[in-house]
Amino acid sequence: MEFGFGTYRVVDQNLEHIQALRLAIESGVRVIDTSSNYMDGASERAIAKVLSSLDTAYPVEIISKFGYIQGTLLEKIKANNPFDEVVKYSDTCYHCIDAAFMRTQLSESLQRLGQDSLECYLLHNPEYYMYDALNNGTAVEVARDTMLQRIYTVFIALEQEVQQGRIKHYGISSNSFAKASNEPDFLPYEDLVVLARNAADEAGNSQHHFNTIELPINLLEYEGLKCAAWAKQEGLRVIANRVLNAQLDGMMFRLADYDEPSDYDFHLNTVLELCEHDSLQPIYNIIEQLDRNRHQFMWVGEYDAFLYTQVIPHIHKSMAALEPDDQTVLIERVTLFLEQLKKMVAYECSQKTRQHLQKRCGLSDKRLQECAIDFLRKSQKVDVVLVGMRKPSYVADITAINL
């Protein structure tokens, strides 16, 4: 088992992201997972930037994906759609695995990555066709059969891309691999190897090149281990994603421990003292409420959403009447406090998660992230563990774990 670098929120203009990816490669990470839709292509550009800057040529495998239509691509599709089989998931997300769409997306990904070919290219959540079909009243079995036919058609095109040398292998990344078989959007994975063999025959290849599945597996979501066991029997590579971000009963859990920030009270009291006069009473009240309510969050992503949609707009509005010099000082102090608050929320969330897991499945004394990785290692069904490592400190923490 090895670690892979997940680039879901990595961008080429963030120096910290670039440093983290570079450190990961230099520390021995050899698999980088990305997608055409990650940060509107910026994740693929970040990979190209790092690889072109390295003094040593490392044997790194880049895995990219296609299927999602978001961002600037969505704007183009809405204006003029040249592809068949495009389905709508939401106003901000369409989806397509049409062969012509795949070829176009592969060309654009190779260009952004600065590569002539990819080791592996994945269909990204093909079950999005199912969501659209089911929402429009199509029977589950009919929708599922149509989805498999679409997968087969694009498998043929992917086998042809192998012939052209633009990819070496292909596979599927699907959240539905981790669903129970009675779920409406379950993807019947046991049919996939047969489809790949038939696609290879149709394309004129002596053997198929379907070699990888990617799916969520973690301490709280382990239904996917059934799919992983099947994949290993078929000789396929299994990549686990969402290993530290678990979903259960409509809640999110970050499977990682965080240290309690030692400077939290200092920064809290500093900003409160700074706001102790009438003109800054609204900001004083906001900071006080943030401290009082910091225990309500179950995971730090919930706090982030609350901060950027609710808190920061109110702070900006309250600061608008201040003199520029006063704004500068206050912004600096508030920013320092909010950084400490996020660390405190992360710490408290990790304590709640540890208590939840202790009741549910028991834990060792290791840090949560180590327990999560140990769970996958002991399963002996996972080849690559994808982890988001957007900071050099995250890279150091993860690569220090003994696999």
Cβ atoms within 10 Å of 330's Cβ, excluding its own: 19
CATH class of 2-256+367-399: alpha beta
Between 62 and 318, the higher pLDDT residue: 62
- For residue 319, what pLDDT is reported? 77
Question: How confident is the prediction for the chain on average, in pLDDT?
Answer: 92
Domain ranges of the chain: 2-256+367-399, 264-360
Quick: pLDDT tens for 255-309: 988 999 999 999 999 999 988 877 788 888 889 999 998 998 888 888 888 888 8
Given a contact cutoff of 8 angstroms between Cβ atoms, the answer to whether 16 and 391 are in contact is yes
Please give the average per-residue pLDDT across 174-192, as a whole number: 93
Q: Is 184 helix (H, G, I), strand (E, B) or coil?
A: coil
- For residue 276, what pLDDT is reported? 82
Integer angstrom CA distances of residue 219 from 173, 179, 254, 370, 394: 19, 15, 11, 11, 20
**What's the pLDDT band for 248 if we cut at 50, 70, 90?**
confident
Given a contact cutoff of 8 angstroms between Cβ atoms, the answer to whether 279 and 315 are in contact is no
Q: Is 305 helix (H, G, I), strand (E, B) or coil?
A: helix
Please give the average per-residue pLDDT across 221-233, as a whole number: 95
